[in-house]
Structure 1
Amino acid sequence: MEQKEVLWNKNFIIACIANFLTACSFNLLMPTIPLYLTEVLHIESSKMGIILSSYAFALLLIRPFSGFLVDLYPRKMLYLVGITCFMAIFFGYYFAITVGFFIVLRFVHGLFWGLATVSSNTVAIDIIPPKRRAEGIGYFGVNMNLAMAIAPFFAIEIYEERGFSYLISVALLLGALAILVVLFIKVPKRILVEKKQPISLDRFLLVKGIPILFNQIFITFGWGTLAAYAVLYGIESGLQNAGLFFLFLAAGIIVSRVASGKLVDKGHIHRVIIFAVAVVTLSFVSFALIHTVYAFNISAFFIGVGYGTLLPALQTIYIDMAPASKRGTANSTYLTGFDLGIGIGMLVGASLASEWGFENMYLVTALLCLIGLLLYVFSSRKIYERHRLR
């Protein structure tokens, strides 16, 4: 009985490693595609936003179906299919030299990234002991957050030293390693959902969680603007090594993991989320207004603390409102909100930066986070308490 309550068992460690490798391979491209488009292909900023956000909108299409499939079929099998196809798409980047090709490539890449991430998250939740679910989700999710923070730093170094094609080769290697690691995961047996179950919206999205998804978009808008434009903003501000931003972001995420998951498991989920969104909001204000290398990196650290605390707690909200048979649907709903926020952040952020500059773009980001905080306080937490199952 005690063995079941061990969080860091062999399966969970393997799942975390696989998740980290996959996320690193994908996030090597996040800060370097804007640089490649600007410096090599000389693409104007308005078109850049379409290219950068195309993968996120592919995710919006595939996420709900991914959740449905993950609840219907063996999760490890779907994980392997998703991650293998995801890795194969990297070969296309060797030949991407036009705007149209980039848009299509990023879109297709987003489809398989969506399947891989929904299945990996759901496999992890199946492995995590129920009494340590929020803590486990937090640690598992931090692998994704760390990859989104650390990989861009190394990506910039590789891109500047070896070029874009070499960077794609590194991403392919990481993806191949991830596939090998996934093969060793042992997923608990479960009773599969009947295939003849009637099709309804609730099989694709957690309907009672849709208001929270809407709330989430305001908060995750900022992650989209960071992933796509933080480096360009740093360069414009005269910082010599803008890529350091992502290391400080990663440090903040690591620090956030010390206590937040345990606090959520002890019943303090609302305090954790309110604190996290407040920290993110204030940090974006600082990021926009204070232009020194110290402020740039300190803001990154506290943005990391905020998002590192917030995202696992948000995911727990969806999981707590869904029965075990709909964990895939709950995960896909959470990830849909995350992707929608990121996609809008990249697309709208490009227009805001082009018209008003990066500084004002990040002030708008802070304002949206504040709106997200108010929505949570006055609406989302009440919805959660009304529909929570555990």
Structure 2
Amino acid sequence: MNEQKLWTRNFLSISISSFFLFLTFYYLLVTLPIYAIHDLNGVPAQAGLIVTIFLVAAIVIRPFAGKWIERHGKRKVLLSSLLIFLIGSLLYSSINSMNGLFALRFLHGIGFGMATTAAGAIVADIIPESRRGEGMGYYAMSMNLAMVIGPFLGLTAMDQWGTGIMFSICIFTAVFSLVSGLLMTLPKDAADGSKVVPAAGRTGIKGLFEASAISIALVAGLFALVYASILSFVSVYAREIGLMQAASYFFVVYAVVMLMARPFTGKWFDRYGANVIIYPAILIFAAGMVLLSLAGTSVSFLIAAGLIGLGWGTLFPSFQTIAIQSAEPKKRGLATATFLSIFDIGIGAGSFIVGVLTAKISFSTLYFASSFFILGCLAVYYLLHGRKEAALHAAAMVETEKQSA
């Protein structure tokens, strides 16, 4: 039997579009706080709000974006959101006050939240069912690569070429994201949502969320609390322990290990089920956090990065795949919105909690304690999804044996 094709023009287009979307996000994530303090005379607390306001806008808009996808279609919502994102990128160089920057970040967050929701729904439709785990893994890889390249490019542009060139690059990356989105030619049933009728009784607040995705989204949100401590504070921790030079390579090693593992983990997910991938990935993630907490040399610090890349880099696309598979095809946009909204709440809450805790305990202690929190999340995964997944996989194996008999 021939394997269904994964690397189609549409899959490449949406992956490249998402890469440039997230590249712009991470590019501005590291540069705007510095710009706000040095060029707009802001204070550190205001610089922190730059990220918070953006994420709040994305979280608020995603449930509505899921409904708009049902009503107007995935492609229309994606292109509209990428246009909003591009307009926001064009306006940064004209902002001359902190209040203006806050307003612009809210607009930019709206475009980002809509785009990530629509892109997730589109990629779920164009990936062959038999290669869902593999395809979602490769799609997530585009976001992980952006996480590595974006900060490096942003800081280089700010240090070497100044804010004018920095914002110009931001505009070009947003343009590339929109152009890649325009290159997609989705089938009518995947692109047009006009014939999709919302389920009866799904009005008001309940109609903005997909119930089938909530349990796995809650699991992902809990893990996001720990991931936020890596994303936001690992460079601060590296400075504390005298490994600042190694810090610039942390996410490079993270990405390399993740890239090497992706071809295997996605296929194993499809062939053997989620549990075979997720339980080992949780243990590897916990081991990475333990080693990070004990790191005293660049070698141990970067080995920890590799373990975290293998563990968390496998968990995130696996959780997102489960959220999408749990929903009806016409509800995948809403499921994606639900999953990403809860996940982003975890990231935002984690950054705040870590900021509070590190005023009382060291980063080393925090990262060590996080490994036990991860192990506790393993139990939560089992209760909310793992045991059900095991039963479904066993039933599928029995059915396969009956058909082959």
Give the structure-2-normalised TM-score: 0.86
- Give the whole-Å Cα distance in 1 for the aligned partners of 2:312 and 2:297: 22
Q: What corresponds to 2:196 in structure 1?
A: 193
On the 8 A contact 1:32/1:159 being kept in 2, the answer is yes
Q: Among 291, 315, 327, which residue is 2:320 paired with?
A: 315
Equivalent residue for 2:304, pick from 274, 290, 299: 299
Partner of 1:184: 183
Using the alignment, how far apart are the partners of 1:220 and 1:284 within structure 2? 13
Q: Deviations over 1:263-292 (max 9, x none)?
A: 111133112111112212221222233132
For 2:39 and 2:247, locate their aligned partners in 1 and report how far apart those are by CA, in whole Å.
19
Please give the alpha-carbon distance, in whole angstroms, between the structure 2 residues aligned to 1:298 and 1:97: 43
Identify the residue that residue 221 of structure 1 maps to in structure 2. 225
Partner of 1:21: 20
Q: Distance in 2 between matches of 1:95 and 1:225?
A: 33
Please tell me the residue identity of whatever aligns with 2:380. L
Q: What is residue 380 of structure 2 aligned with on the other side?
A: 375
Q: Distance in 2 between matches of 1:371 and 1:44?
A: 37
Amino acid at match of 2:180: V
The answer to whether residue 252 in structure 2 is matched with residue 247 in structure 1 is yes
Matches of 1:235 and 1:340 in 2, distance apart? 27
* Counterpart contact for 2:33–2:48, Cα < 8 Å: no
Is structure 2 residue 236 aligned with structure 1 residue 237?
no
Residue matched to 2:128: 129
Contact kept? 2:17, 2:181, Cα under 8 Å: yes
String of CA shifts for 1:180-233, please: whole Å, max 9, x gaps. 121110112216312695543553222133232222211012332222222333
- Indicate which of 284, 287, 291 corresponds to 1:282: 287
- Structure of higher CA gyration radius: 2
CA 1:198–1:175 in 2, change beyond 3 Å: closer, same or farther?
Answer: same
| Residues 196 and 378 of structure 1: CA distance in aligned 2, closer, same or farther (over 3 Å) | closer
1:346 corresponding residue in structure 2: 351
Q: Distance in 2 between matches of 1:232 and 1:293?
A: 15
Q: Percent identity?
A: 28
Corresponding letter in the other structure for 1:213: A
Specify the SS of the correspondent of 1:232.
helix
- Indicate conservation of the 8 Å contact 1:82/1:113, yes or no: yes
Kindly indicate whether the alpha-carbon contact (under 8 Å) linking 1:276 and 1:306 is maintained by their aligned counterparts in 2. yes
Query: Matched residues in 2 for 1:382 and 1:315: separation?
Result: 18
Q: 2:329 matched to 1:324?
A: yes
Report the equivalent of 1:60: 59
Mean Cα displacement is larger for which, 31-40 or 313-322?
A: 31-40
C-alpha deviations, 1:319-372, integer Å up to 9, x for none? 221111101111112212321121112222222334434334434543432322
Partner residue of 1:175?
Answer: 174
Number of the residue aligned with 2:118? 119
Q: For 1:242 and 1:164, how far apart are their aligned partners in 2?
A: 24
Gap change, CA 1:244 and 1:264, over 3 Å in 2: same
Task: Give the CA deviation at 1:104.
Answer: 3.5
CA spacing shift, 1:83–1:303, aligned 2, 3 Å = same
Alignment check: 8 A CA contact 1:256 1:306 kept: no
Unaligned stretches of 5+ residues in structure 1: none
Bigger mean CA offset, 262-271 vs 24-33: 24-33
Q: Which runs of 5+ in 2 are unaligned?
A: 397-405
Letter in 2 for 1:163: G
Counterpart of 1:68 in 2: which secondary structure?
A: helix
* Alpha-carbon displacement from aligned partner over 1:91-121 (angstroms, at most 9, x marks no partner): 3433556554444433332221010011111
| In structure 2, C-alpha distance between the alignment counterparts of 1:360 and 1:170, rounded to whole Å | 39
Distance 1:46 1:177, change over 3 A: closer
* 1:272 matches 2:277: yes
Distance 1:101 1:311, change over 3 A: same
**3-state DSSP of counterpart to 2:183:** coil
The residue that corresponds to 2:207 in the other structure is: 203
What SS does structure 2 have at the residue aligned with 1:8?
coil
SS at match of 1:29: helix
What letter matches 1:226 in structure 2?
Answer: I
- Following superposition, the deviation at residue 24 of structure 1 comes to 1.0
Contact conserved, 1:152 with 1:243, CA < 8 A, in 2? no
Q: Given that residues 70 and 198 in structure 2 are in contact (C-alpha distance below 8 angstroms), is that contact kept between their aligned partners in structure 1? A: no
Aligned counterpart, 2:401: none
Q: 1:242 to 1:40 in 2, by over 3 A?
A: farther
Structure number with the bigger relative contact order (C-alpha 8 A, sep ≥ 6) is: 1
- TM-score normalized by the length of structure 1: 0.89
Alpha-carbon distance in structure 1 between the residues aligned to 2:35 and 2:232? 12
Structure 2 distance, partners of 1:276, 1:216, is: 13
User: Aligned letter for 2:82?
Assistant: I
CA–CA separation in structure 1 for the residues paired with 2:188 and 2:56: 33
Count of matched residue positions in the alignment of Structure 1 and Structure 2: 389
